[in-house]
Amino acid sequence: DEDAEWERMVEARSKIETILNELNDEVRAEEDGKAGEEHLLKLKEQLTMAQQRLENTVKDEERVKVELQGLEKAKELSADGDKEKDDDDDDLFGDDDDEEDEATKATKEKQKASLQSHLDTITTLLQTQSEQVARLDAAYHEAEAAAAATSRGERSNLIAALSKKLCRDKLWHYRDYNEYVSSILEYRHVMDIKGYLNLIKEGNQAIRKKASTLGGASSSKSSKDKNKRSKRFDWDLYRTCVSEGLRDICYRFVLSPFRVGIKLEETHNKNGFSYERILPGDENKPDAGEPRQWMTPKIEDANPQEFASELVGSGELVLLSTARDDADWQDNPEMNDPLKGCRYVAAMELAHEPRIRRVLRAIYRSEAVITTRPTSKGLGIIDGFHEYYGLHLLRNKPVKEHFPMDAAELEKRRARLNAEEVKELDAELKLKETNSCIQYLNMLKAERSGDISIHVHLPFVGDVSGNDKPWYKCELENLGRDRQDVGKFMEALERVYFPADNDTDEWNDERRKILKMALVNYLLPQFEAETRRDLKDVSTKVGVEAAAQTLRDMAMEGPYRPSHLLGENRFIVPTGDVPIVGVCSSNDPKDGTFLAAVNGRGELTDHLAIPGGTSITSEKIREKVITFLMQTRPAAVVVGSGAGVGCKLTARRLGEVITQATERWNNRLIQGQDEDDEDFEARMQTFRLMHSNIDDDDDEVWKCNVDIVDDNVAQLFGRSVRGKKEFPDMAVNLKVAIATARWAKDPLGELAYTWSSASDAGVFGTEMLFLNIHPLQRLLPKPMLLREYERVLCDVTASVGVDLNGACTYDHLHGLLTFVPGLGPRKANNLKQSVSRIGGVVSSRKSLLVKRLMGPIVYNNSVAFLRIRATDHLQDQLLHPLDDSRCHPDVYHRNKWAIKIAVDALELGDSASNDSEDYAITALRDVMQNSRDEIERLFNATKAEWEAHYGPTFNVGAWDPREAVPAESWRDKVEELDLETFAEMIEENGNGKWLTHLTMIKWEFRLPFEDPRKPMEPPSGENLFRLLTGESDVTLCPGKEVTGKVVKNGDFGSQVKLEGDVPGFIPLRNLADDHVEAAEDIVSVGTIVTAIITEVKMDHMCVDLSLKMEDFKKKSSQWGRPQSLPPLDDFFDREAAFKIDEEKEKERESRLRALRLTIGGSSGTKIG
């Protein structure tokens, strides 16, 4: 990102240098009097050379295109020929030529990429050269026409008049702007310079065009057309005024803009300005260091009216408008002001000067505020329970709270704090900035929905609210920029713009009008638009980071750990590759429920379909489920949350079935009391037929539990192209069940699998955009989101590692290889194909190089993140223990430092390190086993110590040896070594600093490729409520009105089904304000009621309701704000909100008076 920003700024700088050189060349030509033949010859020579360069570039472009087409044709022919020749070539020469073909293809791809890059460069160069040829051609024809139309004497007079109108010494300085451009590090400031120079250039062209027209010259038609297309319409008046010579007149009583900019910048940043300042390159000029250059010129012995009248009389000042005999002309003296055009020119050039814009922009950023107002739609729907409540009445909130604190101010605050306090301050400021940016994204969301309007402005002068309207209902026309407080801007500008030795009030009023026009008409509108863009950009960046953090939390969720392992610590008893059954049910009774069993690697082994409308509790289906579970014997059953509230009932019923299945399995070898020998033998025979792979002597105890998990990713897989490709003939819900089980086994693998699917445009990761990762993700740019998501998956994959053989064997795990540092999609796919060619299994990291599965650079970058784990295919091979660790092969193959540490720890002597690899592997295994035994000892000791003090409350699952054990408590053999001294010896031998690697070796001996992810925690409480109902404490909160249908009346109240099948309950005491004997007296089954929520019991998945009138009459502020919403902003106008609530309360009371309770009622009766 930084490289792209820097390249963009370098490109802008080069364009500025081009404009500066053009302006400088024009000045030199006029100063040297080369507007005639010499200048014409020079232009012709430059035009010829430019045309020649353009022709050469066109030929280069054609040549590169031909080469690219040749490569494409060769690729097509090669693809067709390879298919025919592969079989014959393999028979004759074996497979060795495959690698040569791959190398040749890679070389051609590099050559193609290089040519494509060269073609892009040529295209850019071609455009630049075409523009240069067009510019030189126009300049040549203009000079040629001028030379033909004027004599030498006339030409000299014309040059003098032209130079007077151009005022080149007052507008820019070549060396100064060159140095200023090179010192700028922000793209916006570079574009300010470009905009200012383009404005000056436009004015100069208008002056020259006017002069050439008066001189009888005319431009060619093509030049006119080109100039017409390049001009900005909003600069038409400026071009007209400048061409009439108003620029020269205005700078007789005001200071030139670039000198104002220098004075303003130094006064603002350095609190002072030296009037003896010398511009770069002017050291040898006679007037160098003359203070008068920096002083505002004054008109002596004449006021503005007299000065203008004299110039009008002499014909030097042209009036821009003709006097009219109407009321508007008489009422508006500004229209008859002869200096109006001069002020306009000065204001335009002042507002575009880059230094002035830079200083005033900083002042605007510190002074600007944000105000939000509810629209007519928002006034009607935003109440105390609305998600936009608190965003609709912000008044004068400083914009700077959304941006990082000013560097100077932050440095002052840090100077008074110690290191810990500075850390706390930075965290506090970062949190404040993040919350403000998320708030602004929500404001943009509300504005997009038409509920509020956002205004960025300076504080207004005086009270903006009318006598009969509150401020949030005032018309925007009454809140113009002329009512904004520009005092600080005017104070800063007047200090450098007004004469230092004072002037008359009339002339200062003229200058003040220029400043006010530059601010109100040009700068403030641009600063407002810039600030809104900046607010959106910085908020978008924070929003993308927040979405990426949410994805990181999802990816850092570890594999599901069955309940029977929760009593063991994961560092002592790892979860391992356990079989799991995934369940997908549906809200639609027509759709069936599917159970999918996957093995330890995520492969589908068996599945069971339960027809729609059939209950699991029915005898026939129950037996089928029990049989299915006994055949697959999963460690856990996970139910996807896609069916909503019904998932909880499904999970409970499956739990009952699982209890029966586990009891039946574990007691299969026990003869029942009412079972004789024949019946027992018959049952065992039936069991052996059903489970032929199970030995009667197998006494393994089967344990299984059921939980609900989030199936957001699984639902996407069931409906994706990936799902259709992997399981083309399976139902959608069955594919969802499979993905649900895989998600429980490895969330990171499923996220990587989701990313691996490319769109039609070839963009990877587009499926991720369909996941509900962050509530504001729809407002964020998709390319930014995908880029940040990719970085997150790369980081997490690097920290977790990838099982190389598993990722190359199973499609659903292959996506992980894409995010291994040093690989990427293309190299990962090539690695998978290469592994497949050698039999599908890699036995060691070293073999990746030996068998040429990777190049040395890719190997060096990626190998530490690839794990070689034991599989069924590698049972007979002796695997290197460090191949399944984070240690790079450099430390145990090339340098053998890890082996040296192991040998020294076991005190085997120096000679042992030179023995065979088998001996080294044995030493490594012994020292790693010693460290694992030490971890178990430390765990038991910590647990015993805790329980001795606090009783049996030790949190087994939370114990982490890295965090819970101090260094002095370790007693394993590797801890006895002095690794610091070993690292110093390595460094003294000239091998560099390796202490970090040695420390990592020690920890990899203890916890090889320890998974940093904590086991998946099934959702509960508020998370489960939100997952199953889709509701939160914002959408369902106390005080909010909801509508539901009465489904049952009982002794204690009425049960109601709300929208989304959320269960509600109206206690007997809340059915009416008076005493109620029975629920049937107030409502009947089937009645539709409008009620008030009094309590949301998320743990019980229920909502308490009320029909009492006193609850309806409570104001929204009396119910309290939902906890998940941020607190109300300090700049939220509570008084205005209270007035709006009062107005709504009156409407509410009138509506409640109109409601009538209908006792009993039919199914369509509405009660509230």
How many CA atoms does the CB half-sphere of 760 hold within 13 Å? Answer: 0
Contact status, residue 748 vs residue 792, Cβ threshold 8 Å:
no
How large is the angle between the packed helices 96-149 and 37-93, nearest 10 degrees? 170
Token couple for 718 = 């069931």
Measured CA to CA, the distance from residue 570 to residue 1015 in angstroms comes to: 9
Which H/E stretch holds residue 581?
strand 580-584
* Sequence-distant (≥ 6) Cβ neighbours of residue 975 within 8 angstroms: 967, 1002
DSSP state for residue 517 in the 8-state scheme:
H
Q: How many CB atoms lie within 10 A of CB 1157?
A: 14
- C-beta of residue 1064 within 8 angstroms of C-beta of residue 1102: yes
The gap from C-alpha 698 to its chain's centroid, in whole angstroms, comes to 54
Hey, how many other C-beta atoms are within 10 angstroms of the C-beta on 146? Answer: 24
Residue 474 to residues 465, 477, 484, Cα–Cα distance (Å): 6, 8, 15
Token pair listed for 309 = 């009248």
Helical segments of 150-253, H only: 152-166, 168-171, 174-183, 187-214, 221-230, 236-243, 246-250
- Written as six digits, the tokens of 210 are 């006017």
**Which SS3 state, helix, strand or coil, does residue 869 take?**
coil
Q: Count the neighbouring beta carbons within 10 Å of the beta carbon of residue 740.
A: 32
Neighbour order of strands in the sheet with 452-457:
397-398, 369-374, 452-457
Estimate the share of the chain in helix, then strand, then coil, as percent rounded to the nearest 5. Answer: 60, 10, 30
Residue type, 182: S
Strand, coil or helix: 1051 = coil
Average pLDDT for runs of 10 along the chain of length 1168: 74 82 72 56 79 84 82 66 44 40 63 75 78 78 64 57 74 84 86 90 84 55 44 78 86 89 88 83 79 86 86 80 50 69 91 92 91 89 85 89 79 83 87 88 92 90 71 72 87 89 86 92 92 91 92 92 86 88 84 89 90 83 88 90 86 90 82 71 74 62 90 90 89 92 92 87 86 89 91 93 90 91 89 88 88 89 89 77 89 85 78 63 88 90 89 86 86 85 84 86 88 88 85 83 88 86 88 85 87 87 88 78 81 87 78 53 42
- How would DSSP label each residue in 78-103? HHHHHHHHHHHHHHHHTTHHHHHHHH
Contact by Cβ (8 Å): 53, 130: no
Residue 287 φ then ψ, to 5°: -95, 20
Q: Residue 35: what pLDDT?
A: 47
The CB density around residue 250, as the number of other CB atoms within 10 Å, is: 26
Q: Which residue is associated with the tokens 């914002």?
A: 1034
Adjacent-strand bridge partners of 1063: 1057
Q: What is the pTM of this model?
A: 0.81
For residue 1132, the 8-state DSSP code is B
Rg of the chain on CA atoms, in Å: 40
Distances (CA, A) of 554 to 716, 735, 743, 794: 15, 21, 11, 14
Neighbouring C-beta atoms of residue 657, cutoff 10 Å:
21
Q: At a CB cut-off of 8 Å and minimum separation 6, what does 1099 contact? A: 1020, 1021, 1025
C-alpha dihedral, 1000 to 1004 to 1005 to 1006, nearest 10°:
110
Residue pair 1032/1124 in contact (Cβ under 8 Å)? The answer is: yes
**Phi/psi at 532 (nearest 5 deg)?**
-65, -40
Q: What is the pLDDT of residue 150?
A: 52
Angle at 350 between CA 347 and CA 353, to 5 degrees: 150
Strand, helix or coil at 1112?
helix
Residues near 573 by Cβ (< 8 Å), separated by ≥ 6?
565
Question: Facing residues of 1044 across strands?
Answer: 1058, 1089
Q: In what helix (H) or strand (E) does residue 272 lie, and over which residues does it extend?
A: none
